[in-house]
Structure 1
């Protein structure tokens, strides 16, 4: 029997933000079992943690179909649970398989601040065949980083109204693996038309079983540096404009490191029998 938490991340309200499951382990489970738990949960991600010390944990993330290298909202959800379970805890370190160490703290108002490596996107001159048709709306410029194609639009309205052909988009994302050994997701972004936010985005990951991710903390390590340069502002507030929606507070620390911060809300505590 395992204890599992479900948390709505990047939101102060239930039923908003992005839901993640969090399971804290004494010892790692078999990978196939962790993958099956994530499939059964059918959330964007399920996070598994194993303690090294009271303040240091190894973290791994699984979508319903794959283990992934980096997930921001499930990291936030995991930190939220650890802080809730130990009110004396002020700082955390998460060790990852591919992304190095993350450093996390919680402010007095509950805001959880996560320090991540920057993953700046670069211009992609050759547009993948069929991408414009799959998105359905011509875009301004295309960029790419290790995680995703970053599609820049001129206006927020274009981002809000876009309706992708997910089957077509999935084939494009899978085909990226032929070129660089990794599938790619797709994020679309534009300046916000609302005064309280600097930029908005939507995120599509059909190749790993998630057509539209509600809120994607990891991709803001590309989006926030990109818009920070455009606006000449080190601190930005982002809104991910999915059906659920989520707010991310971003701050550039250096060319290599940045902060992504947000709130979280506990939805459920459960026991699973495996």
Structure 2
């Protein structure tokens, strides 16, 4: 059940064309937020906005490459021009993890991934904070990290570095902006049933039944909406005394 816990609020969700971002945008709209669907994939992003509107919610799409500062600034401006303010942001957009060991990582893909997953998240954070500070009414920002931000994985040095960095910038932003009632937190998903995960299983010839127990104390993959629920709580006033922390939505993977 979804309660109107975001009624009257304006939210940006990056990477909202599919997977966890899509489910977050839909859930936020169900909670009565006005949602800006931000993604590089125009066709799928527009489809999510139309799906929300068809269900009676409010949503608009904006195309953005979060690794580009001007594009990120335009995204925030679009939200304010369209809905008058910015209350909530979920910085979810990210590239697929790399697949090479530390001694042989792909330098070009390192630059691309760090440019989106870390620098892009930092750019979103920067300009969302600027807008919220200017408004002077507080706000909530959720950065999507990963279990890889806490427990390193082999063969994806760039992704692990980026997600560790997302946790770090979350803490710094929370420290600096707490006195202004701008809360900054992160969510660290575990193995979530997304097209990205399914593609990896196919690539390595694995199935959920044999692989999920290695990643989850619940012996299953998580669903994108379960991650969206964590972001919804952090976005809402129900978490009004929570900042600078991470929700580990990973079925206990980082606890062992």
Give TM-score, length-normalised by structure 2: 0.29
The structure, 1 or 2, with the larger RCO (C-alpha pairs under 8 Å, 6+ apart) is 1
Give TM-score, length-normalised by structure 1: 0.28
Higher helix share: 2
Higher strand share: 1
